[in-house]
Amino acid sequence: MLTFDQKLIEKLNDWQPGGWPVGNLIACLIALILCVFLVGIVGIERERRGRSAGLRTHLLVGVGSTIIMIISIYGFPAAFGNRDVARLAAQIITGVGFLGAGAIMHRESGVKGLTTAGTIWVSMAIGIACGSFNFLLAIAGTLLIYVVLTGFRKVETRISRKNPTITLISNEDVPVLETILKVSNEFDCRVHGISTSSLEDGSVEITFQVIFDEGGERLDDYLTELGKETKAKNVHLLSHR
């Protein structure tokens, strides 16, 4: 059963005025232009957020994926023997996976680039959808991705404020663990997953998760009190963006 967009491509493939495959050329141009438009929506959102991979990076990944898919369909004539049009798509997925991993960085403020790595990967998926002429799927997927990137941000913030992961750096001579438990008890919250590590300057870094029983409305006050009581050099939320 063919979808609407695939039926359109079938008609274009059959359109060969004067024996020239003009319809194929038009189909390829539609795929490339649509990919630029759809992936551009994702890239602009990342560009506005000031992420390391912006509009150009996403466009390169998306358009490149589209071109490779078109090559896998039209670039190997039947005279070459049996061909697997999905083989190149599998290689795209693997290659872009490594590219996305390069966008992920671990810093003191948390793991950065996870969302950007994800948008690079879905840009590849949009490109494959356009290159395989599944236009409706590409459009629907892009709309859903944009909703996730924009509309779900407030939901994510609200959830993370109720169960935040905190990193605190203080001097070794301060009873940090005891103080953390004391402050947490005052704010009616529970502490989970405490991990500690020593730093080169003689400080101690402690990472832990806090669960507020009544929501995270007091999170800012909690962080302020925690920093004051532990004489922390730095206290911040562990995040991934």
CATH of 163-240, one of 3.40.630.30, 3.20.20.70, 3.30.70.260, 3.40.50.410: 3.30.70.260
Confidence of residue 83 (pLDDT cuts 50, 70, 90): low
Confidence of residue 144 (pLDDT cuts 50, 70, 90): very high
Confidence of residue 105 (pLDDT cuts 50, 70, 90): low
Contacts of 56 by beta carbon, 8 Å cutoff, 6+ apart: 43
- The C-alpha atoms of residue 131 and residue 97 are separated, in whole angstroms, by 19
Q: In whole numbers, what is the pLDDT of the chain averaged over residues?
A: 81
For residue 29, give Cα distances in angstroms to 35, 36, 123, 234. Answer: 10, 11, 18, 53
User: Is a pLDDT exceeding 50 seen at residue 32?
Assistant: yes
- The C-alpha atoms of residue 24 and residue 15 are separated, in whole angstroms, by 8
Percent of the chain with pLDDT over 70: 85
pTM of the predicted protein model: 0.71
H/E segment holding residue 210: strand 203-212
Return the structure tokens found at 234: 């730095």
Contacts of 157 by beta carbon, 8 Å cutoff, 6+ apart: none
* Crossing angle of the two packed helices 176-186 and 219-229, in degrees rounded to 10: 150
Q: Judge contact between 164 and 216, C-beta under 8 A.
A: yes
